[in-house]
Amino acid sequence: MDDIQKLVTKKCATYAGKKQCFLDTDDEGGTTCVYFMEGKKKRCPYFEKSVLPEDAELEKRYHESPGSSTKQKATCIRCKKEFMKNSNAQKRCENCQDTKSKSIRKAQNERNYERRKYDDIQTVK
């Protein structure tokens, strides 16, 4: 039994004993705890939010393990500040992303305005 399983059996309020969980954890409607399933690498949001923070060292190891879907730190290419990435492709922090989106929208609106103005001139002739 690994450290995660020990913490589940001792502290998790949804653990029902005998590797079972009170929550529906299996795709087939089963109630086997995700940390006792063989071969499946699933995660339990309740455990991650409510139980795991009690053990800081274990939490750190858990989130650094391969296959973890936690957010990664990155540096914004525009303002050079660190931020937590929401996806692998994200290169800007949310503030800079909003600014970029606004500037793109503004440029599109200006182009559309010029096109409409040109079209109006063409229809008048």
Co-location of 57 and 86 in the same domain: no
User: Above 60 in pLDDT, residue 56?
Assistant: yes
- Per the document, the length of the chain is 125
Q: Strand, helix or coil at 65? A: coil
Q: Cβ of 61: how many Cβ atoms within 10 Å?
A: 13
Q: Assess whether pLDDT exceeds 80 at residue 41.
A: no
At residue 10, the pLDDT reads 92
| Mean pLDDT computed over 102-107 | 84
Kindly state whether residues 7 and 58 are assigned to the same domain.
yes
Question: How many distinct structural domains can be found in the chain?
Answer: 2
Question: Who has greater pLDDT, 40 or 30?
Answer: 30
Predicted confidence at residue 11, as pLDDT, reads: 92
Q: What confidence score (pLDDT) does residue 73 get?
A: 80
pLDDT band at 69 (very low <50, low <70, confident <90, very high): low
Higher pLDDT, 21 or 88: 21
Q: At what angle do helices 3-11 and 56-64 cross, to 10 degrees?
A: 130
Residue among 25, 35, 37, 34 nearest 4 (CA):
35
- On the question of pLDDT at 6 being above 70, the answer is yes
Domain match, 57 and 103 both: no
Q: In the listed set 64, 85, 107, which residue is the last one of a domain according to the structure?
A: 64
Of the three residues 64, 88, 115, the one that is the final residue of a domain is 64
- pTM reported for the whole predicted model: 0.48
Segment 103-114 shows an average pLDDT of 88
Q: Of 46, 64, 82, which residue sits at a domain end? A: 64
Per-range mean pLDDT, top range of 9-23, 24-38, 94-108: 9-23
Residue 36 structural domain: 3-64
